[in-house]
Structure 1
Amino acid sequence: MSPHLVFDVSAEGRAATEPLREDIRLLGGLLGDVIREQEGERVFGLVEEARRRAFAVRRQEVDREGFADLFRDLSTQDSLHVIRAFSLFALLANLAEDLHRERRRALHVRAGDPPPADSLAAGFAALAEAQLDPAEVADVLQDATVVPVITAHPTETRRRTVFEAQSRIADTMRIRERMTLSDAEEESALRTITIQVITLWQTALIRLQRVRIQDEIEVGLRFFEASLFEVMPQINARVRRELAELYPGTDLLPQPLLRAGSWIGGDRDGNPNVDADVVATASSRAAQTALTHYLDEVSTLETSLSLSVRLTAVSEDLLALAARSEDDARDDEPYRQALRWIHHRLVCTYDVFFDEWLGGGSIGEATAYDTPGELLAELDVIDASLRADGDDLIADDRLLRLREAVRTFGFHLYGLDLRQNSDVHEQTVAELFAWAGVHDAYAGLDEKERVDLLVEVLRSRRPLIGADAELSEQTTRELAITAAAARAIRTFGPEAVPNYVISMCTSVSDLLECAVLLKEAGLLDPVTGTSPVNIVPLFETIEDLQVSATTVRAALAVPAYRALVERKGSLQEVMLGYSDSNKDGGYLAANWALYRAELDLVEVAREHGLRLRLFHGRGGTVGRGGGPSYEAILAQPRGAVRGSLRLTEQGEIIAAKYAEPRLAVRNLEAIVSATLEASLLDTERLGDETGSAYAHLDELAALARESYADLVHRTPGFVEYFKTSTPVGEIGALNIGSRPASRKPTEQISDLRAIPWVMSWSLSRVMLPGWYGTGSALEQWVGGDEERLSTLRGYYERWPFFRTVMSNLAQVMAKSDLGIAERYSRLVQDEELRGRVFGKIVQEHERTVRMFGQVTGHEDVLWDNAALKRSVFNRFPYLEPLNHLQVELLHRYRAGDESEQVRRGILLTMNGLATALRNSG
C-alpha cells in the first residue's frame, strides 16, 4: 500500500550509490558492535532480528502482522533498547546521506559538469544570459533582503553532546574519504568514530523535563556557531562582488542581502510560556553570541597580523588607530596595536550591554561602540591600510569575513520577531481604553467605530496608562513584552526586534491595535509616524488569504496607517500562513489560495507605489509549505519576490540545512539564487495561457477543497478517528516542546496547532496534509477528457508552480505507507468508524497516485528525485520497528500503563521517526 517506486539496479546505478551503502554499513556495523558490547548478546540479537524482519517486510517475504508479533510481548525496557538503536541508526544514516551528497557534488565539479541549477553559479549565469538592463536590476534590488527565520520545533531540541558527536563522526568520515590512510591511521579513525557512537548510545537523546523556551533559544543559536557565522557573510560578499561585475556602476546591495531572523522567544501566539523575561533572554543571548564571536575573531587576528612597520608600509589612519592602544611593547606592530584597541572597545561594549567584564579591563580612553558601524569603520581602517600596501590576500581572508560578519549580524545577531493573535490584541486594547477612560466597551464597537477611535488615540503621544494602573494578568504581560522589546531595540539597535506579526489578522482594526500597543511601549511616535518595528499582518485561513488584498488596501486608505508604511520606506510586509490554510482547506486548495493572494497583494502594491515583502510561513513538511526552497521560490507569481523574501526555517529542517558549513552553503545559495532569478527573470512562463491556467486552478482548488472538507470537516467521527489513530494526544501530554499542542482547550481541529496536526499524520505514515483531496480534484476535473489531461501535462512541463505542487506531493506520497498506517488505525476501537474513515483515506491515496502518473507521465512518484529515492531504499526499512513499537506503546499507555518508561518510549519513537523522516511537522 505504498506508492510505486522504480529503483536503479543497473551496474552504473549501483556503482554511484555503493559509497553510500558502504558508509551506512560501516556506521550501522559500529553501532551494532557498541550495542553488543554495552548491552550484551541478547539485546544485540533482538535488534538484529528486528532489522532482518524489517527488510523481509520490504521484500514482502513476511507480512506486517508477523512482524508486529515480535514486539507484542516485549518488555518495555527491551523496547527502549530497540527504539534507541533504530533512532541512532536513523541519525547516522542522515549523516551518511549528507556526506554522499557532498561526494556526488564534488564528483560533478571535478568532471566539469555544469553547476547545479540551485547554485549561485547557475543563477548568475542565467542573469548574464538574460542581458538585463542594469537600471532595471538596480530598481528591483533596491533594499533587497533575504531572511531565513529560525523557529522552534518539538522534536528538534537536540542535545549539544549529540550535535557535537555527529560533527566529529562526519569530520572523521571525510578524512577517510579524502586521504589514503595507513593501517594504523585507519584504525585510529575507526576508534574515533566508535568513541562517538558509544557516546551517542550512552547519552539520553531526550530530556526528562518539558523543553523550556530557553533550551530552544540555545539550540537556535548553536547554528550560528556551527555554520552561519562563516557562511552568511561569505555569501553576502560573493553576491555583492558578482553583481558588481555583471552590472558595473550600479552600486547594488550596499547593505547585506542575507540576514538572520528568529521567532524563538518572541512568538507567543498560543504559547503562555513566552513572557518579557523570555524576550529579554532571546535578544540578549543573541547579542552575546554575536559579540563573543567578534571578540574571538579580533583576538585571532591580533595574533596573526604581526606585520612590522620595519618591513611594510602602513597608512596614517592605521598608525593613529594603533596609537590609541597605548601598547608601547608593540610599537613596530601597528596592526596588532589597532586590533588590541578594537578588542578593548568590544569588551567595553560587552560590559555596557551585559554589565560583566570579560577580563582585561579597559585601557586608555577605550569606550564602548555606540553602533556596529563604528566597529566596522575601525576594521575598515585596517583593511584599507593592507590594500594600500598590496596585501589584498591578507585583507580578503579572516579580516574580510569579520567585516562582513559585522555588516550582516550587527550587535543584534538576528531580528527577533514578535507575534501574537489579534484576539489578544483586541482584549488588551479594550482593557487599556476602559482604564484610561477612552471607551468602556471597545469590543462592542463595529469596525468603522473601532478604526476611528484607534486613529484618534494614535494622534496623541499621551500614554494611556501610568505606573499605578491596575490591569489583568494578560494585559500586564502583553505590555511587559513590548516594553522588553523596546529595551532590546534601545540596547542592541533597531534591527533587534524589526517586526511584529499579527496572527489571524482579518481587519484594519487588527493592524491599528498593534500600532497602539507599540505606541504605548514608546516604539511608535504618533507625531512623526515613525517606528523601528514593521507591523506585519499574517493571513492564515483560506478565507483570510482570499480577502488579504482587500484588508491591506483598506488599511492603506487610513492616513495614519499609510503614514507608518511610508516612514518605513513605503515597505509593506505581509506574512502568508501555509500551515493553517492547509489545515483549513487541504493541500492543493491552500497552495492555490496562497498563489492567488500573492497576485492580489502584488496588485495592491503596484496601485499604491509600495514595496511588497512577503514572509512565507513554511514548515518543514509539505503539509506546512515545506519542500525544496529553490523550487518553491521560483514557483512564486511574477512580482511577488522583487528582491525581498523572508521565510521560516523550522525544527529538524534547520539541522538538515545548517548543521555545518557545507550544508549551509548549499541551502543559502539555493535561497539567494532563487530570489535573484524570481526577482529579475520571468519564471512563471505561462505567456498567453495565464488567464486560462488561473481559471483552471481555481476549479481544481475548489474540487480539492470539497474533497478535503468531506473527510475532515463533514465525516461524522473524524475528529475521534484522528485523535485515536495518531499520537496527537500524547504529543500534548508528554512534554514535547515548549508550546501547548492547541491554542485553546477545545476539540476543534481549527484550534489545534499545525505542528501537532501535521506531525501526527506524519508519525502514523498517512501524511494526509500533503496530498489529500488532490487526487479527487484531478480525476473530477479531467473526467476522462484527454484534452484536459493534456492541458495539465502542459502545466506540469512549463509552469513552475504546478510542477512544484506535483513534485512536493510526490515526495509526501513516497514517505507515506498505508500498510503501516493500517496498524495505527487499529488503535480506533470503533470498527465501523475505523473502516469508514480509513477506507476513504485508502481510496483517495490510490486515486492520487494514479492521477499523479497520468498527469506527469511517470508512474514512479520519485522519478525526478534520486536523492530521496536512495533514502527511501536504504533507510526506510529502519523506520518499520519504530512505527510498530510506537503503536505497541500507545496501546499500553492508553490501556493504563502510564509508567515513566512507557512515556519515555513513546517520546523516543516520536524523536526517532522525526529524525528518520527529516521533516515530520
Structure 2
Amino acid sequence: MSDLDKDLPLKEDIRLLGRILGDTVRAQEGEATFDLIERIRQTSIRFRRDDDSAARRELESMLDALSRDQTIHVIRAFSYFSHLSNLAEDQHHIRRSRAHAIAGSTPRVGSMARSIQAAFEAGVSKQQISEFFDDAFVGPVLTAHPTEVSRKSILNCQMRISQLLDSRDRLEMTPDETYDNEQCLRSSILTLWQTRMLRPTKLSVLDEVQNGLSFYRYTFLHGVPRLYNALEDLLAKYDESKATQELPPFLRMGSWIGGDRDGNPFVTADVLDQALKLQATVAFEFYLHELHQLGGELSLGQLLVSASDSLLDLADRSADRSPHRSDEPYRRAVAGIYARVHQTAFGLLGENIGRPPIGTGEAYATPEALLEDLDIIHRSLVANGSATIASRRLRRLRRAVKVFGFHLATIDLRQNSNVHEQTVAELLAAVRPGLDYLALDEDARIELLLEELATPRPLASPYIEYSKQTLDELAIFRTAARAHKLYGRDCIHNSIISMAEGISDMLELAVLLKEVGLLRPHEDALDVNIVPLFETIEDLQVAAGVMDRMFSIPAYRTLLASRKQTQEVMLGYSDSNKDGGFLTSGWELYKAEIQLIEVFKQHEVKMRLFHGRGGSVGRGGGPSYDAILAQPGGAVQGRIRMTEQGEVISSKYANPEVGQRNLEVLAAATFEATVLAHPGAAPRAEYLEVMDRLSDLAFKAYRGLVYETEGFEQYFWESTVISEIANLNIGSRPASRKKSTAIEDLRAIPWVFSWAQCRLMLPGWYGFGSAVKAFVAERPDGMAILQAMYKEWPFFASTLSNMDMVLAKSDIAIASRYAELVRDEALRNAIFPRIRGEHQSTIAVLLEISGQKELLDGNPLLKRSIRNRFPYLDPLNHVQVELLQRYRDGHQEDRIKRGIHLSINGIAAGLRNSG
C-alpha cells in the first residue's frame, strides 16, 4: 500500500470533522460567517500550497478588515479545526498501529516487543533482562506549567469525538449505525462550539491538580496495568519460567502539581495536603469501582469450583451474609475487601466515596495488606483451574495497587535553594545568637550544617516567632512527614533543590528534613531523596564536582545507604537554554552527564538522572525515544525520570491508546539504552572537540543577540505575546520570578512559549547557523566532519532532528508581521534582519549536514501533519497580530482581549509542542 493510500483515511476523517464543524458554524453563526471563514480557509491553502504572494496579500486584507465579532468567530473556527485535526491524527496513529498488528508486521521501533527481540538477537541473557527489571525505574512526571491551554471541559468533548472516530474504524456499521455515529459527532462538535474555550478566572493550584488527575482517569489507571501485563506476557514467550512471575513495579508516575513551590507562592502546606487527598480519592474511586465490577464477575459457585482455605476464610470474614451468595465464596471475599477499602478511604479522606459497602470492615493499614487479600483470590483461582479469569480484571487491579498504592503518584517537593538557605539561617540565628549564617563561606557552612546533622536535636521551637517564609517551609515539610504516615512513603519520595550550586544547598535541605523527622541521624535514615537541580550553564559545569565532594562526606554516604545507595540528580533544560542557547545547553547537559557518570562510578553510587524537559525543543523537548537513546553511554543505567509538561501532556496522554504507547516508548528506550550497546554511545574524541568549538561559537552568537544587543529586551516584549501570556488564566505561577521585564528573571516557559506563538521558535535554533559557518571557515574539512557526526553519533543526530522540527514549524514571513509590532523602527530594523539572516543560514547548514533537500525529509509523518494543519494556523497568526496592534493602541475592551487569548489557544493547539 502506498503512503498516499495509507493517509487516505486520515484525510477522510479531517474532511468529515471539518465539514461538520463548517455545518455547525453555518447553523450557529449564519451563512455569511460561514462563507467568510471558507474564503479565508481557501485563500490560506492557496498561499501555503502555491507560495502565492497574491494570495498572501488577499489573506491579510481579509483578516485586517474583520469586525470584532467576525474576528472571534474566525479565531474560534480555526482553533477548533486545529483541535479536531489533532484528534484525527491521533486516531490515524492508532489505525496504523492496529493495521501493523493485524498484518503481523515486525514490531515497531519504540515498542517493548521490538526492544526485547533486539536484546535476545544481540545475545543478552535471560538473567541480564531479569536483572534490568529488578533494578529499573522509569518515572514520567506531570508538571503544571502555563502552556497547557486546554480546559478540562474541552478535553472531555475531544475524548468523546475520539471515541466516535475509533468506533468508525473498528466496527463495520450498518447505514443506521453510521448515521447515528455521525449525529453523535455533530452533537459533540456542537457542544465543543458552545463550550467556553477560556477560563474566566485564573487557575488555582488545586484546579491544576484536578486537571492533572484527568489523565489518570483517561489513561494511567487503566493503561499502566495493561502495559505491565502485556510486557509480562511478552517475556513469558521468550522464557517459559517467567510465565507466572510478575515484574517489579519499575514504571511509576510522578507529579509536581501541588508540591512545586519554586516561585509559586500559592503552593502551601494546605494545598499539598489537599493535593495528596485528591490523588488518593482518585485511586480509591478506581479501586472501589474495579472491586464492584470484579464482584459481579466472580459468580463462581462452590458446588462447581473449589476454593482454597485462605479464600474461604476471607469469604467468611466478609459481612455479606446473603443466602443468595452463600455458595459464592469469591463474591463474598470481594465484598469483604470492598468494605475494608471503603473504610480505608473514609479513614484517610474523611468522606464516603463509591457505592455503600455490605456491612463494615476494618481499614487496611497499607496497600500491601490490600494486595495480600487480592493475592489470596488470585492464588485460589489459579490453583483451581481458573487462571484465565485471574488474568483479566483481577490481574490489572492487583497491578494497579502495586503501582499506585493509596497515594496514586509520588508528589515531588521543589523549592529554590535561596529559600532553603534563608530558612536555615533564621533557624540557626534563633539558637545561636550572633551567628550570621549567610555571611559564612561555603566551607564554614558545610562544617556547621554537618554538626547540626550529627544530632537529633531540632532547631525550631514553638516559643520563637519566625518569619512567614520560615513557617511556611516548616509547614510544608511537616505535611510531608504526616503524609508518609497516612499514605505511605511513596507519596512523597523526592525533595528537589532548584538552582543548586554547592554542597551547602543539599545539606540545608537535609537539616530541614531532620526538623520534621524525615531524616533521622540516630537511625542513619533518610526518608526522602535529596535531589539537586542544576539548571544554568555554570551550574551544569560544576555539577560533577559538587556530587564528587558530596559523596566524600561520610555522614551523607551513610544516609545514602537507606536510599539503596541511589542518588538522583536533576538536570534543567529550560533555564540552561535561556541562559546559553539551544546548542550550548544541549552540549553542556551532555558533558555534565559524562562527568557525573564517572563520579558516580568512582564512588560506587547508583545514578538516577531526572531530565527536566519541556514540551518544546527549546526546553529539551522532542521525541522521548530518541532523546533517551542519545544519552551518553552509562547515563541511563535502567533508571530515568522525565518531566511531561504543558500541552504535551494532553497530546500524549488524553487518548488512552496513544497514552499507553507513549509510556511503552519510555520503557523501551530505557531498556535499550541500558541493555543494548549502541555504537554511538561513546563518540570519537574528535567529535567532542568539534562540539566544544561549535558550542562556543553558538553561545557567542546567542548571547550576542539576547543579552548583549541594546534594546533586545524591549524588542522581545513588543514583538511577542509575552505580556498577554502573563495575564492569561492558564496557570497558577507568575511568568517572571521577580517583578521585572528582564530576560534573566523571566521563567523559561513563557520565554519559549512566546517565541512559538510568533512562529520564530528562536530558542530552538538560534546560533547554530553562525556557529557552523564560522567552524567551516576555520577548517576546510569542517562540513565533512559534521556530516560524519550526524551519521555516526546519536546525540548530534537527535540535536539536529529536533532543530529540523522546530525550523519546519517556524515561519519567517509570519514572524515579520510580529516584528512590525515593535514601535521603534530603528530597533526593529537592527534586530529582525539579524534573526532572519540567522534563520536562513541555520536552515541552509542543517540541510547540508543532514543531506536533506527540504526540512523534515527524514520525518514524513510530521511533514504531512504540518502540511495539513498550517493553512489553518496561519490565519490565527495574522489575526493575532492585528488584535495585538489594536490592543496596544488602547482598544482594550474585553472582546479584543478575549480574541487575543483565543488566538493563543488556537496557535498552541496547532503547534502541539510549543511550550
Per the normalisation by structure 2, the TM-score is 0.97
Count of residue pairs the alignment pairs up: 910
Distance 1:753 1:499 in 2: 23
Distance 1:138 1:181 in 2: 45
**Does the Cα contact within 8 Å between 2:319 and 2:360 map onto a contact in 1?**
no
Paired residues for 1:433-472 under 5 Å: 433-437=428-432, 440-472=435-467
2:140 aligned counterpart, secondary structure? strand
1:60 counterpart (25, 44, 51): 51
Give a deviation string over 1:456-483, Cα, whole Å, max 9, x none.
Answer: 1112222212223211121111111111
**Does the Cα contact within 8 Å between 2:338 and 2:357 map onto a contact in 1?**
no
Give the counterpart letter for 2:306 in structure 1. A
1:574 aligned counterpart, secondary structure? strand
1:118 counterpart (81, 103, 110): 110
1:616 aligned counterpart, secondary structure? strand
Distance 2:866 2:346 in 1: 52
Distance 1:73 1:702 in 2: 47
Give a deviation string over 1:566-586, Cα, whole Å, max 9, x none.
Answer: 221111100000101111111
**Does the Cα contact within 8 Å between 2:154 and 2:192 map onto a contact in 1?**
yes
The alpha-carbon distance between structure 1 residues 354 and 365, as it changes in their structure 2 partners (threshold 3 A), is: closer
The alpha-carbon distance between structure 1 residues 63 and 364, as it changes in their structure 2 partners (threshold 3 A), is: closer
Q: Do structure 1's residue 322 and structure 2's residue 303 form an aligned pair?
A: no
Q: Do structure 1's residue 215 and structure 2's residue 210 form an aligned pair?
A: no
Distance 2:29 2:247 in 1: 59
- 1:172 corresponding residue in structure 2: 164
Q: Do structure 1's residue 340 and structure 2's residue 332 form an aligned pair?
A: no
Q: Do structure 1's residue 814 and structure 2's residue 822 form an aligned pair?
A: no
Distance 1:806 1:260 in 2: 30
2:633 aligned counterpart, secondary structure? coil
**Does the Cα contact within 8 Å between 1:587 and 1:769 map onto a contact in 2?**
yes
- 1:425 corresponding residue in structure 2: 420
Paired residues for 1:554-569 under 5 Å: 554-569=549-564
Distance 2:405 2:55 in 1: 58
- 1:186 corresponding residue in structure 2: 178
The alpha-carbon distance between structure 1 residues 624 and 451, as it changes in their structure 2 partners (threshold 3 A), is: same
Give a deviation string over 1:545-598, Cα, whole Å, max 9, x none.
Answer: 111000111112222222222221111100000101111111111111111111
* Aligned alpha-carbon RMSD (Å): 1.9
Q: Do structure 1's residue 752 and structure 2's residue 746 form an aligned pair?
A: yes
Distance 2:147 2:606 in 1: 37
2:218 counterpart (219, 226, 239): 226
Distance 1:219 1:893 in 2: 31
**Does the Cα contact within 8 Å between 1:236 and 1:257 map onto a contact in 2?**
no
The alpha-carbon distance between structure 1 residues 253 and 650, as it changes in their structure 2 partners (threshold 3 A), is: farther
Give a deviation string over 1:275-334, Cα, whole Å, max 9, x none.
Answer: 111111111111111111001100100011000001111111100110001423222000
Distance 1:912 1:359 in 2: 38
1:313 aligned counterpart, secondary structure? coil
Give a deviation string over 1:862-882, Cα, whole Å, max 9, x none.
Answer: 112111111111111101111
Give a deviation string over 1:476-512, Cα, whole Å, max 9, x none.
Answer: 1111111122222111110101000100000100001
Deviates more, 1:92-101 or 1:149-158: 149-158
Q: CA deviation at 1:141?
A: 4.7
1:527 aligned counterpart, secondary structure? helix
**Does the Cα contact within 8 Å between 1:636 and 1:684 map onto a contact in 2?**
no
Q: CA deviation at 1:134?
A: 4.7
- 1:605 corresponding residue in structure 2: 600
2:571 aligned counterpart, secondary structure? strand
The alpha-carbon distance between structure 1 residues 208 and 361, as it changes in their structure 2 partners (threshold 3 A), is: closer
Paired residues for 1:735-884 under 5 Å: 735-783=729-777, 787-884=781-878
Deviates more, 1:294-303 or 1:881-890: 881-890
Deviates more, 1:324-333 or 1:215-224: 324-333
2:25 counterpart (24, 28, 35): 35
Give a deviation string over 1:805-828, Cα, whole Å, max 9, x none.
Answer: 111100001000010000000000
Q: CA deviation at 1:272?
A: 1.0
The alpha-carbon distance between structure 1 residues 238 and 177, as it changes in their structure 2 partners (threshold 3 A), is: closer
- 1:22 corresponding residue in structure 2: 12
Distance 1:365 1:159 in 2: 39
- 2:894 corresponding residue in structure 1: 900
1:270 aligned counterpart, secondary structure? coil
Deviates more, 1:442-451 or 1:323-332: 323-332
Q: Do structure 1's residue 288 and structure 2's residue 303 form an aligned pair?
A: no
**Does the Cα contact within 8 Å between 2:133 and 2:247 map onto a contact in 1?**
no
The alpha-carbon distance between structure 1 residues 247 and 614, as it changes in their structure 2 partners (threshold 3 A), is: farther
Give me the identity figure in percent: 47
Distance 2:168 2:360 in 1: 52
Deviates more, 1:221-230 or 1:484-493: 484-493
Give the counterpart letter for 2:262 in structure 1. D
Q: Do structure 1's residue 712 and structure 2's residue 702 form an aligned pair?
A: no
Distance 2:174 2:314 in 1: 51
Q: CA deviation at 1:241?
A: 4.9
The alpha-carbon distance between structure 1 residues 692 and 522, as it changes in their structure 2 partners (threshold 3 A), is: same
Distance 2:355 2:754 in 1: 53
Q: CA deviation at 1:521?
A: 2.0
2:607 aligned counterpart, secondary structure? strand
Deviates more, 1:785-794 or 1:522-531: 785-794
Give a deviation string over 1:409-429, Cα, whole Å, max 9, x none.
Answer: 111100000101101111111
2:570 aligned counterpart, secondary structure? strand
Distance 2:905 2:396 in 1: 36
Distance 1:743 1:96 in 2: 39
- 2:153 corresponding residue in structure 1: 161
- 2:363 corresponding residue in structure 1: 368
**Does the Cα contact within 8 Å between 2:288 and 2:354 map onto a contact in 1?**
no
Q: Do structure 1's residue 71 and structure 2's residue 63 form an aligned pair?
A: yes
2:198 counterpart (178, 201, 206): 206
Q: Do structure 1's residue 300 and structure 2's residue 293 form an aligned pair?
A: yes
Distance 2:393 2:732 in 1: 38
Per the normalisation by structure 1, the TM-score is 0.96
Distance 1:204 1:437 in 2: 57
Q: CA deviation at 1:692?
A: 1.8
1:592 counterpart (577, 581, 587): 587
Q: CA deviation at 1:184?
A: 2.2
Distance 2:7 2:241 in 1: 47
- 2:472 corresponding residue in structure 1: 477
Unaligned runs of 5+ in 1: 1-10
The alpha-carbon distance between structure 1 residues 362 and 44, as it changes in their structure 2 partners (threshold 3 A), is: closer
Q: CA deviation at 1:238?
A: 3.4
Give a deviation string over 1:361-390, Cα, whole Å, max 9, x none.
Answer: 777772111111101110000000111111
- 1:5 corresponding residue in structure 2: none
Give the counterpart letter for 1:522 in structure 2. G
Give the counterpart letter for 1:409 in structure 2. F
Q: CA deviation at 1:49?
A: 2.1
2:469 aligned counterpart, secondary structure? helix
2:913 aligned counterpart, secondary structure? coil
- 2:660 corresponding residue in structure 1: 665
**Does the Cα contact within 8 Å between 2:43 and 2:58 map onto a contact in 1?**
no
- 2:726 corresponding residue in structure 1: 732
- 1:890 corresponding residue in structure 2: 884
Paired residues for 1:519-534 under 5 Å: 519-534=514-529
Q: CA deviation at 1:359?
A: 7.3
The alpha-carbon distance between structure 1 residues 544 and 243, as it changes in their structure 2 partners (threshold 3 A), is: farther
**Does the Cα contact within 8 Å between 2:790 and 2:796 map onto a contact in 1?**
yes
Distance 2:274 2:513 in 1: 20
2:269 counterpart (265, 276, 293): 276
The alpha-carbon distance between structure 1 residues 618 and 566, as it changes in their structure 2 partners (threshold 3 A), is: same
Distance 2:719 2:428 in 1: 47
Distance 1:567 1:605 in 2: 17
**Does the Cα contact within 8 Å between 1:138 and 1:252 map onto a contact in 2?**
no
Unaligned runs of 5+ in 2: none
Paired residues for 1:631-642 under 5 Å: 631-642=626-637
